[in-house]
Amino acid sequence: MGTTESLAYFHPELALAAAILAVIFVDLALTGRAGRQASEWPGNLALAGVGAALVLTRGLRPLDVRGAWLFNGMIVLDAFSVFFKVLLGLALLAVVWMSLSSREIRAQPNEGEYYALLLSSGLGMFLMASAGTLLMAYLSLEFVSLTSYVLTGFLRHNRRSGEAALKYLIYGGVASGAMIYGMSWVFGLTGAMDYAGIARGVAALDPASRGALFLALVLVLAGFGYKIASVPFHMWAPDVYTGAPIPVTAFLAVGSKAAGFALLLRFFHFGVGHEGPAPAVAQVPIPQLASIICVATMTLGNLAALSQTNMKRLLAYSSIAHAGYALLGFVVFADKGVEALLFYLVAYYLMNLGAFWVVMLIANATGREDLDGYRGLAWRGGAAPALALGVFLFSLAGLPPLAGFVGKFNVFAAGVQAQLYVLVVIGLLNSVISLYYYARVVKTMFLDDPTADDPALRFGANELGPVGVLSLATLVLGVNFNWLLRWVEVAGRVFTG
Partner 1 sequence: MHGDPVLTLMIFIPLVGMAVVLALPSRAHDAIRWTSTLFSAPPLLLAVRVLHGFRPDAGFQLVHRGPWIDAFDIEYFVGVDGISITMVVLTALLCFLCMIASFGIEKGVKGYYALFLLLETGMLGVFCALDFFLFFVFWEVMLLPMYFLIGIWGGPRREYAAIKFFLYTLLGSVLMLVTILYLYFASDPHSFDMTQLSRTAHVTINVQLLLWLALFIGFAIKIPAFPFHTWLPDAHVEAPTAISVILAGVLLKMGTYGILRINYGILPAATLAPAWHGRSLAFWLLAALGTFNIVYGALAAMAQTDLKKLVAYSSISHMGYVMLGMAAFTPQGINGAVLQMFNHGTVTAMLFLLVGVIYDRAHHRDIAGFGGLASIMPVYTGVTGLAFFAAMGLPGLSAFISEALVLLGAWQNYPLLTVIGASAVVLTAGYLLWTLQRMFLGKPNEKYLTLPEINARELFTLVPLGAIVIFLGIYPTPILDLQSPALVRLNDHVTQAAARTAGTERVAVAR
- Report the residue number, 1 or 416, with the smaller CB distance to partner 1: 416
Check residue 372 and report its DSSP letter. G
Instruction: Judge residue 157's burial from the number of C-beta atoms within 10 Å of its C-beta, 0-12 exposed, 13-18 middle, 19 or more buried.
Output: exposed
- Report the residue number, 296 or 485, with the smaller CB distance to partner 1: 485
Asked if residue 210 lies in contact with residue 283, where contact means CB atoms within 8 angstroms, the answer is yes
Q: How far is the CB of 21 from partner 1 (least distance, A)?
A: 43
Q: How far is the CB of 311 from partner 1 (least distance, A)?
A: 19
Q: How far is the CB of 460 from partner 1 (least distance, A)?
A: 19
Query: What CA–CA distances, in Å, run from 83 to 52, 77, 331?
Result: 16, 10, 21
The pairs formed by 457-461 with CB atoms below 8 angstroms and a separation of 24 or more are: 457/365, 457/366, 457/377, 457/380, 457/381, 457/382, 458/365, 458/381, 459/361, 459/365, 459/381, 459/382, 459/384, 459/385
- Report the residue number, 196 or 303, with the smaller CB distance to partner 1: 303
Q: How far is the CB of 406 from partner 1 (least distance, A)?
A: 9
Q: How far is the CB of 414 from partner 1 (least distance, A)?
A: 10
Q: How far is the CB of 497 from partner 1 (least distance, A)?
A: 16
- Report the residue number, 268 or 487, with the smaller CB distance to partner 1: 487
Q: How far is the CB of 373 from partner 1 (least distance, A)?
A: 19
Instruction: Judge residue 469's burial from the number of C-beta atoms within 10 Å of its C-beta, 0-12 exposed, 13-18 middle, 19 or more buried.
Output: middle
Cβ neighbours of residue 123 closer than 8 Å, sequence gap 6 or more = 13, 16, 17, 20, 143
- Report the residue number, 267 or 412, with the smaller CB distance to partner 1: 412
- Report the residue number, 205 or 477, with the smaller CB distance to partner 1: 477
Beta-strand runs (E) in 241-296: none
Asked if residue 442 lies in contact with residue 436, where contact means CB atoms within 8 angstroms, the answer is no
- Report the residue number, 139 or 413, with the smaller CB distance to partner 1: 413
- 290 sits in which H/E element: helix 286-305
- Report the residue number, 72 or 419, with the smaller CB distance to partner 1: 419
If you write DSSP's letter for every residue of 452-487 in order, what string do you get? TTSPP----HHHHHHHHHHHHHHHHHHH--HHHHHH
- Report the residue number, 29 or 425, with the smaller CB distance to partner 1: 425
Q: How far is the CB of 442 from partner 1 (least distance, A)?
A: 8
Instruction: Report which of 382, 360, 476, 358 is spatially closest to residue 102, judged by C-alpha positions.
Output: 360
Rounded CA-CA distance 212/148 in Å is 32
Q: How many angstroms separate the most distant Cα atoms in the chain? A: 73
Q: How far is the CB of 405 from partner 1 (least distance, A)?
A: 7
- Report the residue number, 151 or 393, with the smaller CB distance to partner 1: 393
Q: How far is the CB of 341 from partner 1 (least distance, A)?
A: 15
- 324 sits in which H/E element: helix 311-332
Binding site for partner 1 (CB under 8 A): 379, 394, 399-401, 405, 409, 412-413, 416-417, 421, 424-425, 428-429, 431-432, 435-436, 439-440, 443, 446-448, 481-482, 485-486, 489
Q: How far is the CB of 239 from partner 1 (least distance, A)?
A: 29
What is the distance, to the nearest Å, from the Cα of residue 293 to the centroid of all Cα atoms in its chain?
Answer: 18
As a whole number of Å, the end-to-end CA separation of the chain is 23
Q: How far is the CB of 429 from partner 1 (least distance, A)?
A: 7
> How many Cα neighbours within 13 Å face the side chain of 68?
18
- Report the residue number, 162 or 400, with the smaller CB distance to partner 1: 400
Rounded CA-CA distance 399/391 in Å is 9
Rounded CA-CA distance 440/336 in Å is 34
Instruction: Report which of 147, 151, 125, 146 is spatially closest to residue 136, judged by C-alpha positions.
Output: 125
Q: Is the dihedral of CA 167, 169, 174, 175 positive or negative?
A: positive
Q: How far is the CB of 428 from partner 1 (least distance, A)?
A: 4
- Report the residue number, 135 or 416, with the smaller CB distance to partner 1: 416
- Report the residue number, 127 or 345, with the smaller CB distance to partner 1: 345
Rounded CA-CA distance 294/320 in Å is 10
